[in-house]
Amino acid sequence: MALHDLGNVKGAKGDTGATGATGATGASGTVSVGTTTTGAAGTAASVTNTGTPSAGVFNFTIPRGADGREFGETFSNSANVQCANGAVTDLCSIAIPKGTYVLIAKAIFQLVSATGSRKLYIAMSNGYGTDATEVGANGGGYTQIENSDIVTVSDTTVVTARAEQGSGQTITTTGVIRAIKISD
């Protein structure tokens, strides 16, 4: 009997078979948190499954935030100065670099006998200055004045606490000037 090569012979497609029986209900899947790790600043957050598809154990990596900038740098100076009757006197000065600052000036006038008012200014080399904070005469003892402001400077600027003694005698005044940086 001779064999013949029939090649790729196939018949017509048959009809679809009947639907099979429903399978048993599978077990419910579970999900749990595994570890949470802090990643390096600037990296992407990630979640990995170290469990199985039906029993997931998710490990999280959350990057730490970038280092914050330091603010609160303080520049300060103080001095004891003789303030003459009716004169405006520079008490003390500081140089501050570019940034935004809270400026605080304080003057403590040591009075023996004085009349008239005492004033405290904040003056800056860029031409800016505060209005005077003023107290009236008290005749003797100590008088304290504070003056403050928030300023932004674009270049290094000299800030001066400047006092004015009203009428009366020359007095010793303690001056303080402080600048606290709050932003660049």
In which domain, by residue range, is 38 found? Answer: 31-63
**What local confidence, expressed as pLDDT, does residue 168 receive?**
62
Same domain flag for 175 and 84: yes
Task: State mean pLDDT over 86-114.
Answer: 83
Lowest average pLDDT, out of 11-15, 142-146, 165-169, goes to 165-169
Do 99 and 121 share a domain, yes or no?
yes
Query: Rg (Cα) of the chain, in Å, rounded?
Result: 40
- Decide if 124 contacts 105 (C-beta within 8 A): no
Q: What integer is the mean pLDDT of 141-152?
A: 82
Mean pLDDT of the chain: 83
Taking residues 129-136, what's their average pLDDT? 72
Same domain, 44 and 90: no
- CATH code of the domain in which 173 resides: 2.60.120.40
pLDDT (0 to 100) of residue 7? 66
Residues 59 and 94 in one domain: no
Domain count for the chain = 2
Is residue 35 packed enough to be buried (19+ CB in 10 Å), middle (13-18) or exposed (0-12)? exposed
The answer to whether residues 99 and 180 touch, using CB atoms and an 8 Å cutoff, is no
Q: Do the Cβ atoms of 61 and 39 come closer than 8 Å?
A: yes
Residue 101 CB neighbours (<10 A) = 24
50 and 116 belong to one structural domain: no
